[in-house]
Amino acid sequence: MNRTLCAVMMTLLAAGLVAQAGLAAPQEGSFPPVDLSKLRPADFNDNELDLPFHLLHFHRLAGSVLMDGPDRGFITLPIWRPANGNKPYNARIMESILSLAFFYATDRPWNSYYGSPALRARLEAALEFWCRVQAPDGKFSEYSPQGWNLAATAFATKFMGQTLTLLSKGPAIDKDLHRRVFEADRKALRIVFTDDGLRKHGRKYSNQYSNAFAGALAFLELNPDPELEKLLRLRVEEASRDHQSPAGFFYEA
């Protein structure tokens, strides 16, 4: 299973568990559930046979995107983090943008959301929100307003890298917004690779820092950038020395 599909399934599994727990999804706007009775087993490839569960619950995620107010675009359903951490300042919540992009851009017989105008509106709102909550230098916050940290910033680049990859092959979104998302992603990658504080933190939390390696590879595949590629090579070389112990394990704390 590819990494994009795995991340999407983790998000939607959480949405399904929320539903089973009896927690209602916020109803900021109606978003249609899929009609599974119209689908056949033959519509799914062998590696997609576990998707009906996630497909069934996707409307809960998409319907929880705020479509008005100061936090327009924020994903209000607490699936990627507990309810007490599902706050607009927590950019980790917006990693579920990848699930919105997956269903918007995946052309398969079972996917009635492919190219959906209603889904595009929510995807664009979520991307706009993500761009707005970024610090001027490229960082993102997690635990408090303007509490910029490595995890929120580096993880964002991985999820956004896969989102941009999907959008490069799928139906269009607003061109100006698409450009701004690329710029925001590049800014996040650059700060991870150049900020001394983030680099120091990464030497203690290898798993956080290494997300930017995957994010950078996805970005560079779509947008060749000599400066960013040079920084990536430098940091990968540095990580081979500083992010792994002599015994072989990677650091986390």
* Full-model pTM: 0.88
Angstrom CA distances, 202 to 107, 112, 184, 237, stand at: 38, 41, 21, 14
Q: Which residues pair with 151 in a beta bridge?
A: none
At 221-243, the pLDDT tens digits run: 999 999 999 999 999 999 999 99
Q: Which residues pair with 148 in a beta bridge?
A: 141
Q: What is the pLDDT of residue 29?
A: 52
Q: Which residues pair with 75 in a beta bridge?
A: 65
Q: What is the mean pLDDT of residues 185-205?
A: 98
3-state SS class at 246:
coil
Q: What is the pLDDT of residue 4?
A: 63
Quick one: what percent of the chain has pLDDT higher than 90?
81
3-state SS class at 212:
helix
Instruction: Enter the tokens of residue 142.
Output: 């997690």
Q: What is the pLDDT of residue 5?
A: 61
Q: Pairing mode, if any, of strands 140-141 and 148-149?
A: antiparallel
Q: What is the pLDDT of residue 22?
A: 45
Q: How many CB atoms lie within 10 A of CB 192?
A: 28
At 6-64, the pLDDT tens digits run: 566 555 555 555 544 444 444 445 799 999 999 999 999 999 999 999 999 999 999 99
